[in-house]
Amino acid sequence: MTDFGAHIASVAYQRLAKPTLFRLDPERAHHATVTAARTLGVHPLLSRAAQAGIARSPTTGRSISVGGITVANRVGLAAGLDKDAVAVPAWQALGFGHLELGTVTAIPQPGNPKPRMARLPLSEALINRMGFNNQGTHALAQRLRKLRDRGEVRVPIGVSLGKSKVTPVDDAVEDYVVSVRAVAGLADYLAVNVSSPNTPGLRSLQDAEPLRELLQAVVAEAKSTPVWLKVAPDLTFGAIDDVLEVASEAGVAAIIATNTTLSRAGVAAEEAATAQQPGGLSGAPLHTRSVEVVRYITENSDFETIGVGGIRDRAGAQRFIDAGAALVQVYSGLVYRGPGLVAELADL
């Protein structure tokens, strides 16, 4: 995306798209955005217009090898925005260097009862308790296979894997393995999500022994596909040490830091009451803690890290890079700043 294209995209989003979307319920706005992106991707004229007007070619710039993949720029789409891989061409057209799809589960599931998402506009934050609503790993695999068969995948694609809600925690390993098998040969890397706060019992899988069993099984089943691990920002540094030791022993290729938080630190006082609802908080209030976690991991391990949490501008992404992150990912920042954010970060 050119500087001019990024400027036009940002202005159009702030003046036209954002006011319209923010009049909708947050989840409806999310679906409207993904639907629009899907339309962009499946209509050749619109897709070509996007690439000509605002897209930065993912084949230009400096290639970077991180966690077993090679990317053309440092900015990626974070998991959660496109759970079912319905708008891959459009995300590529925006100039992302890699895409993380999902989180998906072996068993399709509707997620938690609605409403399950809230905006905190003054804080530039979101709260979600979606509960891994998705069409299942096999449905995502079918879409990826079609895209690859048509030669439409132009950037590395990761698939974030979670535990099906109906699967007991004691049976989590096989649940994840089913998902790994479903996307075999279709994902450039796999992200193990055991850090979402919205599936009962999921975060207990970050404890050393269950995590060791899970990661060993996933890495073995993934074979040559790199496995990344996404960690929670609410872990103590001591608990992070345990996670890193287990991940290293299992052969994990990179650490994503971080998922959403249960903390409400940093939320604007005017939004404190709204913020008390359950769910994981993402966006600007999470940024400082996520950067701290990235810095701790890079200073205390040999892992390459992917920084995610509250990136709203170039300065925020640079903080992650200065802390040691090799790549960054964005989601909430797109909601508040629009697609021009991708171009702002792509030449870091």
Catalytic residue (one of 47, 160, 179, 196): 196
- Contacts by 217-222, CB closer than 8 A, 24 or more apart: 217/173, 217/176, 217/177, 218/161, 218/176, 218/177, 218/180, 218/190, 218/192, 218/250, 219/250, 219/251, 219/252, 221/177, 221/180, 221/181, 222/180, 222/190
- Report the run of H or E that residue 161 belongs to, with start and end: strand 157-161
Rg (CA), the chain: 19
Which tokens sit at 82? 């496109």
Query: For the chain, first and last CA: distance in Å?
Result: 13
Annotation marks residue 196 as catalytic:
yes
Rounded CA separation 129/133 (Å): 10
For the chain, counts of helices (H) and of strands (E): 14, 13
Rounded CA separation 50/40 (Å): 8
- Contacts by 310-314, CB closer than 8 A, 24 or more apart: 310/124, 310/125, 310/282, 310/283, 310/284, 310/285, 310/286, 311/287, 311/341, 311/345, 312/124, 312/284, 312/287, 312/336, 312/337, 312/341, 313/337, 313/341, 313/344, 314/344, 314/345, 314/348
- Annotated catalytic sites, by residue? 196
